[in-house]
Chains A and B, each alone.
Chain A
Amino acid sequence: MMQTQPKPILLFNDECAVCRHIGHWVQRSAQGRSGETSILVQPIGDDPERLRSLNPDLDIWDAYATIHVLMPDGSMRLGGEAVAETLRNLPNTKWFAWSFATTIFGFRPFQVVLNAAYAILSDVRPLFGCESCGKPRAMKPIAQVTKWAKILFGGSLHPSPHFSSLSAAKRRTVAISVEPLPQSSHS
């Protein structure tokens, strides 16, 4: 059963230092003088069921892969669209956030730039500390620029699975051995 929320909810990855920092900044910025918040900020957490109670279409893997804002009407904003929605709800930024909805010949130039900026930040965030991403792969400049350019011209907002904490060289099958496990306290 979906919980109805009167305000948008920004979900952030609490395992990622950059995301955590941004989430806390949004939380502080959303606080009005009366103490009311214009947007709710919540960590994604580790419970798929809890997320589904917020929105049945919300998958925990998706939530970790891309920033999500859950709207009161049951829809969701993802990636750069979620960033724009967040900025529209903050007292300090809503004055310029209207620009992201501006359409010129069916094209939203500011939103497109924001989508690309989000994709780039999402890709480089391990450089600033992201425990959940593992170590960043060696940057491949041409591949990255190609990907970001695709996003700029209407490609997917969904970031690729960018980081593995295990390099390809380390992937291996450990020799099969039978060794006793440490005694469990439950046994």
Chain B
Amino acid sequence: MGNETREHPREISLKPLSRDKIPTVTSDTFARLVLEAEGPIAVEFMSYGCAHCRAIEPALEQVAEMVKLQERIFRVNIAVEPELASRYQIQGTPTLIMFLNRNEVGRVEGPSPTLSSVLTAVTQPFAP
């Protein structure tokens, strides 16, 4: 039963959405916090009006908590930052882009809203 609970995606979505576990970056802070920062970084391009972004939010928050010692996760609200969305050719939301030392090393569009799927998305590009 315990295993089912951990693996069942619906269990994740039942958890309440916490507030601001994932910091937002803007075009003013993107270069400093993402491009010039050291270590692996994942950026979620999203908008609050996107139902699919809402669906993955609990899993993403949980993943951010799990990987916080190795990796940082930020979000970009494309409704506020269309220039960033255009620069990174965002076709739809949510899109996760993984950066390492200024370079894009991976990209996942519309991951399933499950813990395992989001965890894989944000960690696989950095796997040795």
**Which residues of A come within 8 Å of B, CB atoms?**
13, 15-16, 44, 46, 48, 59-61, 63-65, 131-134, 160-166, 170-174, 176-182, 184, 186-187
A59 — which chain B residues lie within 8 A by C-beta?
17, 19
A181 — which chain B residues lie within 8 A by C-beta?
35, 88, 102-104
Contact present for B125 and A61 (CB under 8 Å): no
Please report which residues of chain B, range 11-25, place their CB below 8 angstroms from some CB of chain A when the two chains form the complex.
Answer: 17, 19-20
B44 at the binding interface (Cβ < 8 Å): no
Q: What's the interface size class on B, roughly? A: 35 or more
* 29 A/B residue pairs, CB under 8 Å, sorted by A: A48-B48, A61-B17, A64-B48, A64-B49, A64-B54, A132-B79, A134-B52, A163-B52, A164-B51, A164-B92, A165-B50, A165-B52, A166-B91, A166-B109, A166-B110, A172-B109, A173-B107, A173-B108, A176-B106, A176-B125, A178-B103, A179-B103, A180-B102, A181-B35, A181-B103, A184-B30, A184-B35, A186-B28, A186-B32
Contact present for B32 and A165 (CB under 8 Å): no
**Which residues of B come within 8 Å of A, CB atoms?**
17, 19-20, 28, 30-32, 35-36, 47-52, 54-55, 57, 77, 79-80, 87-88, 91-93, 102-112, 121, 124-125
B49 — which chain A residues lie within 8 A by C-beta?
13, 15-16, 44, 64, 131-133
**Could you tell me the distance in whole angstroms from the C-beta of A143 to the nearest C-beta in chain B?**
16
**Could you tell me the distance in whole angstroms from the C-beta of B10 to the nearest C-beta in chain A?**
12
Residue of A nearest to B47 (CB): A132
B28 — which chain A residues lie within 8 A by C-beta?
186
Give the contacting residue for B121; candidates A61, A131, A162, A173; CB below 8 A: A173
Residue of A nearest to B89 (CB): A182
Contact present for A60 and B111 (CB under 8 Å): no
A61 — which chain B residues lie within 8 A by C-beta?
17, 48, 54, 57
B51 — which chain A residues lie within 8 A by C-beta?
65, 133, 160-164
Grouping DSSP codes into helix (H, G, I), strand (E, B) and loop, the A interface class, with mixed when no group exceeds half, is loop
A134 — which chain B residues lie within 8 A by C-beta?
50, 52, 92-93
Given contacts A13-B49, A134-B50, contact A173 B93 (CB under 8 A): no
**Could you tell me the distance in whole angstroms from the C-beta of B18 to the nearest C-beta in chain A?**
10
Known: A59-B17, A177-B104, A186-B32. 16 other contacts (CB 8 A): A46-B77, A48-B19, A65-B54, A160-B51, A161-B54, A162-B51, A163-B51, A164-B92, A165-B92, A166-B109, A170-B92, A171-B111, A173-B121, A177-B105, A181-B102, A186-B28
Contact present for B105 and A46 (CB under 8 Å): no
A174 — which chain B residues lie within 8 A by C-beta?
106-109
Give the contacting residue for A44; candidates B48, B105, B125; CB below 8 A: B48
